[in-house]
A and B are shown apart, each in its own frame.
Chain A
């Protein structure tokens, strides 16, 4: 290294000094790297703010035209310039709630299976496979729903449910196509399962084994250990996981738009067509001609953004408050 001057080298043992140039370079380098990293971090925050701003800005025409009534009005007639997201909000709520109702118990059971029941070999295979379900692109899942699941639901599941549980208004008469709120909910169920399953597996693994062994030593059966120890210690985290799954279900646009049948009316039967906020944007935005139509779709985006951010924030708050972090849906 050239940090030792020729004269000093001759003088025997001497401390190697950094040249002033290198010292200055290091000072600058440290600051630059810190600055660039900070900038990147600020960029992430700026993106969120910018997204919020652009969506609200895009919706401004619809917001001033319809005001808050947009949220509950159910008329959506692009030709007459009348828009209301009530039925879409209803469709979003129904599909997501149904997906969560069906998906959460399955996903939690998968989490329990992976942590408590499965032998290590099975665990190593089933765990990644369940997570891979989340990796299937939504457009392919929707395409599959359209061509495979939809017809099956229409010919088998709908008649069966109508026959056995038809006294409930939600299981109305089967329709001619399988494109329905019901099929969309099933597709969403497939999407929320991997998210909730992988988070709840991590949660269950964090339950101290002493507690479980203690319960076992007192004579509790496996189910009683789960009921009495595992679920109570992780319940808040499981709720957070379900909220993250809900956020995923609310915002799914493509797969839902492929299988829900794009109906505009409020229907009590799950077998009728319907529509959600996200899928309406995907279906109508490319063909939207008037500025008001586009602005109304942006308004749907605003509602979606608010609900999505809220469910996410609540999930994070619960997760943080009860010590479970990294509740990231992958």
Chain B
């Protein structure tokens, strides 16, 4: 053995040569991964911080409850109505699809249906805007309803997927007990399976609403010409709404409008963040309860 290959006897367990290089590389990779996580979280923090810092000053009671120019009440109300109409359309269909997937579909029907849901989920929202424009707005007039249809299509795969996950967690024993008592399938679905999964279905719906509430692209084509002073609850006319108004203000380049837009952004972001964080926590809890 030559002198060079003998490690330093004073410290027999310290890495030398190649191993030291390998460990350095590994350290560097760990550092890079941690940095990446820091970057991702910092991006969120910076965006949320900007929205809070610039928007908080704009918000007071007048801002929420009165019409333009002192407040954005009509936009908030419009977004609420559009999201509500969309959810009323998407939720029943979504839950029924989830039921079909868990209760009726064999693997041959489930595969294509899941693919369809994934494709629906992947449709760019501007495409849905064009779709509702061609279907409901062209040669007629813009309406909150048209926007709601587009949002419903965005919510549908999310609700169906979320509900399906929860329905799959309903214990087999409950279904079997129901079967053993000779209860018909539809009765056990409606009175045993659905009530057990209800909490999870509702939270999945809330997550879907949080996702759809901020969608702008479809509403630009479906419900963008409106009077920001007018409160409106009639979905069959063009309704004021938050995302389109933020978009318009951002295009205008007027500093006062920017403050207003930051204020609305803060309201929208806080609704979305609280809804999705709350729903996530509830969903995790109800899943734990079902699977325990």
By a beta-carbon cutoff of 8 Å, the part of chain A in contact with chain B is 18, 26-27, 29-30, 32-34, 36-41, 43-45, 47-48, 50-51, 54-55, 57-58, 105-107, 109-110, 112-114, 116-118, 126, 128-130, 132-133, 135-144, 146-148, 190, 193-194, 197, 221-224, 226, 244, 247-248, 250-254, 258, 278, 281-282, 285-286, 297-298, 301, 304-305, 308-309, 312-313, 316, 325, 327-330
Contact = CB atoms under 8 A, between A and B. Distances in A.
A285 B121 CA distance: 23
B125 to A, nearest CB: 7
B interface: dominant SS: helix
Contacts of A114: 37
Interface residues of B, number: 98
A290 to B, nearest CB: 14
Contacts of A193: 40, 43
Given A30-B186, A197-B40, A135 B276 contact: yes
Contacts of B122: 244, 247-248, 308-309, 312, 329
Contact of B33 (A112, A142, A316): A112
A48 to B, nearest CB: 6
Interface in B225-283: 243, 246-247, 250-251, 258, 261-262, 265, 268-269, 272-273, 276-277, 280
Given A30-B185, A113-B34, A40 B100 contact: yes
Given A221-B22, A329-B121, A37 B277 contact: no
A263 to B, nearest CB: 16
In the complex, which of the residues B40, B126, B133, B156 has the most CB atoms of chain A within 10 Å of its own CB atom? B126
B192 to A, nearest CB: 13
Interface string B23-45: 10110111011111101110110
B187 interface: yes
B221 interface: yes
A138 to B, nearest CB: 6
Query: Which 3 A-B residue pairings sit nearest by Cβ, starting from the closest?
Result: A251-B124, A137-B214, A109-B36
B120 interface: yes
Interface stretch (B5-13, B62-70, B111-119): B111-119
Given A117-B34, A133-B43, A328 B123 contact: no
Given A33-B190, A51-B127, A305-B124, 18 more contacts: A39-B96, A40-B96, A45-B116, A48-B123, A55-B127, A114-B37, A129-B44, A133-B44, A137-B216, A139-B250, A146-B250, A147-B250, A221-B22, A222-B30, A244-B122, A248-B122, A254-B217, A281-B129
